[in-house]
Chains A and B, each alone.
Chain A
Amino acid sequence: MNWILLIEQCLNGIQLGLLLFLLAAGLTLVFGIMDLVNLAHGSLYMVGAYFAATFTAWTGSFVLAIVLTLPATLIVGAVVEIVCLRSLYNRDHLDQVLATFGLILFFNELVRLVWGPAGLSVPLPEFLSSSLELLPGLIYPSYRLAIILASLAAAFFLYWLVARTRIGMLIRAGASNREMVGALGINIRFLFTIVFGLGAALAGFAGLMAAPISTVEIGMGENVLILAFVVIVIGGIGSIRGAFVAAILIGLIDTVGRAFLPDVIGTFFDDEFADAAAPALASMSIYLLMVVILAFRPEGLFSAKSG
């Protein structure tokens, strides 16, 4: 076993997991508080990446692009909430799935209209384009390390916001009893818009960080959205802590599985079979995990009300 490779893949897995967490946190907040299934969350991720590409091209600086992208996605999220999603809170989940499915189609075409059908690429920021030697023999790109640190910072910010501030208190109160919070004189509609905008900004943040290490293209949000849904379902819908644990778990299993499953299967079966079966098994493994967890714990790992 190659330990250097294993550690490197684990870091990659954690990095993917943290990105997934940023997406899943918004999704699970919106679900836990507004009881809304939002398929269009992946579109906000995509919009974040496109904003990052444009702002980087305009300003020539990735850092400035971050500063501009976060409020921009927050505004997009708030507008979507006010114009469209607000009237869906009291509908059943099927209606929400359908309407937000319509939003996906709309956003994909809008992006194609504005940015054109070809994919964009965002250059790595200069100061992060090198690599660091973390351990003897373990060289890791500093940009990926920066993603890990930035996501962790965002996760801590979210924890602080939800657990330590007045607005976080209202969010938690809204999750456990919407009507009561409204009856106590809190402007619940405004609170919902803020929560949705916050979720959108987090998704946009994930999108903009993923932009330099992947292609910015239409539909990029759809596959990652499904992963984020797997995360929140495994973690227990509405639970941020559950989303964090599940996101890291999914990131690790997906990345490490892809890297090592061919070898593992190869030791038990012949190589031809391993080459054929391993990629499929690696892609299937997270869904398999979700199925197993739901079969034994139909509500996910963490209960929704535990925060």
Chain B
Amino acid sequence: MISIRYGFIAFVMIALAAVPTVAVAIDEPFYVSMFTRMLVMAIAACSLNLVLGYGGMVSFGHAAYLGLGAYVVGIGFYHASNDGMEWALNGWMHLALAIIIPGLVALLVGAISLRTRGVYFIMITLAFSQMLYYFFIGLERYGGDDGLSLWFLSDFGGVMDMNDDVHLYYLSYGLLLLILFMLYRLVNSRFGMVIKGAKSNERRLMAVGFPTYRYRLVAFGISGAICGVAGFLMANQSEFVSTAEMHWVHSGDLIVMVVLGGMGTLFGPVLGAVGFLMLEQYLPEMIRGGCEVIGGNDCGVAGEYWKIVFGPLLIMIVLFARGGIDGLLQGKVGRNG
């Protein structure tokens, strides 16, 4: 079964690489931005997977780091266009700050949250993300509730042009590959072993002499930093920054992506993000189609209610296909995939 799994993953990765070429060939440039969003969410899901899948830390607040990364671009744009600070659009600086700031915030949040366990951990990470959410709503200067429309995107000089969808797509794809490689090295290192070990039996690891708190904290910080990169890309993709992306429901979406794809596997979150956004895009049309087949009335309207199918589908996945897509590919169906 392993060959099917790796074959499928290779197919997905190669297909993703070919998206802009195909989109131009069939004259549907819309697909480029749609798939860019998938790559961005894939990066965010990978970052969550490091703590959730490998580390067993259920962070219910990762949308906050996504938002922080996006606001780096938004605040840079604001000062460049309103205060004439041209340097504030510098893309390299945006990228660096979108790694450093969410990373540091995640370290701070983790330092307090990791003292708690179980449901308290879920709730305290949620509380921190709500705090950041309201913090940005309170920042009237940077748009507050309404968000900021970005007339200028991150400026990478002559290297890349963020206004060009294809450039942005390949930047996202390249960053995703880089992050996947880094995560692969990380989880298979000694550090990764400790993280995974602390998930299955923390007391034993502490008895052996590992300061698990510090290891978990560093993993949490790395996760926040990676999520910030996704936020940076998201701002450039949607050309808009707002607090809506930091709402706790989006933290839930990220968890869904990780579980849908397969927790604690390298490519699972990528498959999950692609699958989630595909469902979001095509489930309405599938419902409409199915409605027309059985000859129902008002089929155009029926598609709008796709979440009424998606919600129970999610419950089904939790109940019957714990391994997610990656688990199905490995032929492991059931709880412990």
Among residues of A, the one whose C-beta sits closest to the C-beta of B123 is A233
Interface residues as binary, B38-69 with A (CB distance below 8 Å gives 1, 0 otherwise): 00000000000000100000101000000000
B311 engages A109 (CB within 8 Å): yes
- Chain B proximity of A33: nearest CB distance (Å): 14
Q: If the complex has contacts A105-B314, A108-B307, are A280 and B138 also in contact, measured as CB distance less than 8 A?
A: yes
Question: Chain A residues near B119 (CB, 8 Å)?
Answer: 31, 37, 93, 233, 237
Which of A141-149, A162-170, A195-203, A292-300 lines the interface with chain B?
A292-300
Question: Is A226 in the interface zone, CB < 8 Å from B?
Answer: yes
Question: Chain A residues near B307 (CB, 8 Å)?
Answer: 105-106, 108-109
Interface residues of B in 46-101 (CB under 8 A from A): 52, 58, 60
Q: How far is the CA of A78 from the CA of B256 in the complex (A)?
A: 26
Q: How far is the CA of A97 from the CA of B259 in the complex (A)?
A: 11
A98 engages B140 (CB within 8 Å): no
- Chain A proximity of B151: nearest CB distance (Å): 24
The main secondary structure of chain B at its interface with chain A is helix
A288 engages B314 (CB within 8 Å): no
Q: How far is the CA of A39 from the CA of B60 in the complex (A)?
A: 12
Q: How far is the CA of A289 from the CA of B307 in the complex (A)?
A: 35
B305 engages A113 (CB within 8 Å): yes
Q: How far is the CA of A101 from the CA of B119 in the complex (A)?
A: 15
Q: If the complex has contacts A226-B248, A283-B138, A291-B127, are A102 and B120 also in contact, measured as CB distance less than 8 A?
A: no
Among residues of B, the one whose C-beta sits closest to the C-beta of A94 is B58
Question: Is A271 in the interface zone, CB < 8 Å from B?
Answer: no
- Chain B proximity of A173: nearest CB distance (Å): 22
Question: Chain B residues near A230 (CB, 8 Å)?
Answer: 123, 127
Which of B129-137, B175-183, B184-192 lines the interface with chain A?
B129-137
A290 engages B313 (CB within 8 Å): no
Question: Is B293 in the interface zone, CB < 8 Å from A?
Answer: no
Question: Is B271 in the interface zone, CB < 8 Å from A?
Answer: no
Q: How far is the CA of A142 from the CA of B122 in the complex (A)?
A: 39
Question: Is A84 in the interface zone, CB < 8 Å from B?
Answer: yes
B308 engages A106 (CB within 8 Å): yes
- Chain B proximity of A276: nearest CB distance (Å): 6
Q: How far is the CA of A298 from the CA of B134 in the complex (A)?
A: 24
Interface residues as binary, B296-316 with A (CB distance below 8 Å gives 1, 0 otherwise): 000000000111101111110
B58 engages A102 (CB within 8 Å): no
B120 engages A298 (CB within 8 Å): yes
Question: Is B124 in the interface zone, CB < 8 Å from A?
Answer: yes
Question: Chain A residues near B134 (CB, 8 Å)?
Answer: 280, 283-284, 287
The listed residue with most A CB atoms (<10 A of its CB), out of B140, B308, B318, is B318
Which of B109-117, B210-218, B326-334 lines the interface with chain A?
B109-117
- Chain B proximity of A42: nearest CB distance (Å): 11
Could you give 25 example pairs across A and B, Cβ below 8 Å? A31-B119, A37-B119, A88-B318, A94-B58, A97-B58, A98-B317, A99-B314, A99-B315, A101-B252, A103-B315, A105-B307, A110-B308, A229-B123, A230-B123, A230-B127, A233-B124, A237-B120, A277-B138, A280-B135, A280-B137, A288-B131, A290-B124, A291-B112, A294-B112, A298-B115
Shortest beta-carbon contacts, A-B, top 7: A280-B138, A106-B311, A102-B314, A283-B134, A105-B311, A109-B308, A102-B311
Chain B residues with a Cβ under 8 A of chain A:
52, 58, 60, 112, 115-120, 122-124, 126-128, 130-131, 134-135, 137-141, 248-249, 252, 255-256, 259, 305-308, 310-315, 317-319, 322
